[in-house]
Structure 1
Amino acid sequence: MTTGTTREDTGVDVDLRKLRYFVAVAEELHFGRAAERLHIAQPALSRQMRALEDDLGVLLFCRDRRGTALTAAGARLLEEAPRLLAACTAMVRAVTAAAAATPKFTIGFMPGITVTPAVRALTSRHPGLDVRLLRTGWQDQVEVLRDGRADVSIVRLPIDRHGLQVRRLFTEPRVVALPADHPLAAKSSLIVGDLAGEHLLQDPDAVPEWRDVADELRTGERAEVRPINSVEEKLELVAAGAGICVIPLSTAAFYTRHDVVTLPVEDIAVGHVCLAWSTTSSSPFITDFADVAHLLTPPAPG
């Protein structure tokens, strides 16, 4: 059976399998790499993409000697497709959960955040509820809501709020992580200007204070930052002298290590911790969890 979604205004049935294939090609911009990623033959993938273009009546890719590029229609589809695929996945998970004998409720949480008090309060209200915990990171703290892996997620701003309800919980300081043998490690606190010449191991837009000062000192183009998906990997790179990172105080306290020093930065803004859930979620337990989420308090200064 082909799973699809119908666009009533055009009468076009979009095959979700083709849509998944399209996202792979659009992200790789290379049919060979996309075929390897999808574990299918390249000619089959090319046929599927031509079929999708026929279904939609538009050209999605331009292919020439220089490579593969997205057309304007392809770029727009790449914006829309991940949301549609995530919504479909979320729907399947919701239907499966509705058929389960024991109700389940999954909470996403970021490293350093302790959710135990709120979980206990929720289960005291609903003794038969099967509460699951899902550790998230910067890259997927919102995606777990969009694809239905989590019913709620305790997130750190900034996030893409599209389709989400967001409630602020608390703020906490952020600190900079330096190698223990760094010349600045002996100081009691720093300012952003002290760090402007350092290599930041995260998206500069996540630390706008550092970005703005560093851009003033930089004459060339900003170096591309390789995505680092875990705190553990960031701290390994810090300890190795590859750069610095700015992390929440609670995360620093959770990942204490002898070869990394964390220091307060006087002119970096606090971080905001929020509770988020999808505006389309049908879970009956979200309201009750939101009621007890105030038990998630900021960490005590260490």
Structure 2
Amino acid sequence: MTDPGQLRLLALIERHGSLTAAAHALGLTPAAVTQQVARAERDWKAPLVLRGPRGATLTAAGTLLAGHGRVIDQQSDEAATRLAALLGHLSLRLRVGAFQAAALHLLPPALTALRHRYPDADVSVEDVLSERGIEQITEDRLDLAVIASWGAPPAPPLHVAVHPLLLDPMVVVLPDDHPLAAEWTRDAPLRLEELRDESWVTILAGHAAREQFDRAADAAGFTPKIRFQTASYDVAQALVGTGIGVALVSRLALTGVPGTTHRELAHPRLHRRLHAVTPADPSLTPLVDVFLTLLIDVAEDITATWTVPR
């Protein structure tokens, strides 16, 4: 089998005109290079190097092989240059995906802090459904995804890591003229069974949030009267503002729509969990760990402002 090292050695001898200079370029002793030349001549079954008092020259066979050695050198140099460029790009790249509430409330402070630290960072952000976050990481479409889960934490493949960010409680959004929105009641958490006779604006059937609500209502002993279904907490809050009904909305997704207020929910204490999903080994994209730390800090700041039900 052809030894590329022998071809490179011949190219160096041709370039420098001596075994000693070629040895220096390779970081070897002249004796070691002499042995390699002898081995190459045995392997190729032809004389390759002519030694003389003024250095070394190549035979016709040696010159032919040295041409291929130059190609190997050129390809090696190009590979090193392109790899350095790739690693340099990856060191500044960050592709982030998040669902809407996380994109609105978690990402902006973290992105601002990242920009201050790394003004040359190549950052992109896209909307990603929670159920597709792990898939986007697995397929190398994103470097970090923020997802939500309503039950057990997701179980990712071995090469994907899931990092907890925060527990996002569900709250009851009410029209601000609702009897349960009176000032003297607002600090006390509501029990779900107190809302058995209400009309509801809910998340669409089939979504994990809707399944959680349906299970909780069943456990509370009632079947909710559903007036409207939507995939958006923003739409749900807007409809509550019209007086059409009440809704369960994640605390992070609260927008303070005019005509609405909210109360914390007591038993059962419904919530969703937010996670950051990353490659298990993000060493080629170091901004992933930096941004993850910033997200955790932002999550702690947000939850510190939330009222804990008594």
* TM-score with structure 1 setting the length: 0.51
Residue 235 of structure 2 is matched in structure 1 by 233
Aligned-pair distance for 1:167?
Answer: 0.5
State the alpha-carbon separation in 1 of the partners of residues 141 and 240 from structure 2. 31
Q: Structure 2 CA distance, aligned partners of 1:153 and 1:184?
A: 38
Q: Give SS of 2:234's match.
A: helix
Q: Name the SS for the 1:272 alignment partner.
A: strand
* Paired position in structure 1 for 2:295: 293
After TM superposition, the structure 1 = structure 2 runs for residues 154-233 of structure 1, keeping only pairs within 5 Å, are: 154-158=146-150, 160-163=154-157, 164-186=160-182, 187-188=185-186, 189-198=189-198, 199-202=200-203, 203=205, 205-206=208-209, 210-215=213-218, 217-218=221-222, 228-233=230-235
Q: Deviations over 1:127-183 (max 9, x none)?
A: 421222334565665565466554212223237544442111233433111233334
Considering only aligned residues, what root-mean-square deviation do their CA atoms show, in Å?
A: 4.1
Q: What secondary structure is seen at the aligned counterpart in 2 of 1:287? A: helix
Partners of 1:119 and 1:205 lie apart in 2 by: 28
- 107, 113, 117: which one pairs with 1:115? 107
> Relative to structure 1, is the Cα distance of residues 124 and 205 closer, same or farther in structure 2, using a 3 angstrom cutoff?
closer
- Contact 2:202-2:226 at 8 Å conserved across structures: no
Aligned to 1:151: 143
What code does the residue aligned with 2:306 have? P
C-alpha separation in 2, matches of 1:197 and 1:174: 19
Q: 1:1-302 counterparts in 2 under 5 A?
A: 103-109=92-98, 110-111=100-101, 112-123=104-115, 126-136=118-128, 145=137, 150-158=142-150, 160-163=154-157, 164-186=160-182, 187-188=185-186, 189-198=189-198, 199-202=200-203, 203=205, 205-206=208-209, 210-215=213-218, 217-218=221-222, 228-252=230-254, 255-267=255-267, 268-278=269-279, 283-296=285-298, 297-299=300-302, 300-301=305-306
2:124 partner amino acid: R
Q: Secondary structure at the match of 1:235?
A: helix
- Could you tell me which runs of 5 or more consecutive residues in structure 1 were left unpaired when the two chains were aligned: 1-97
Percent of residue pairs bearing the same amino acid type: 19
User: Which structure: larger Rg?
Assistant: 2
Q: Determine the C-alpha separation between the residues in 2 that align with 1:181 and 1:121.
A: 40
> Structure 1: which amino acid aligns with 2:263?
L
The answer to whether the 8 Å contact 2:105/2:252 transfers is yes
Give structure 2 stretches of 5+ with no counterpart.
Answer: 1-85
Q: Within 1, Cα distance between the matches of 2:196 and 2:162?
A: 32
**Contact in 2 for aligned 1:172/1:298 (Cα 8 Å):** no
Please tell me whether the aligned partners of residues 196 and 213 of structure 1 are also in contact (alpha carbons under 8 angstroms): no
Please state which structure has a larger fraction of its residues in helix. Answer: 2
**TM-score by structure 2 length?**
0.50
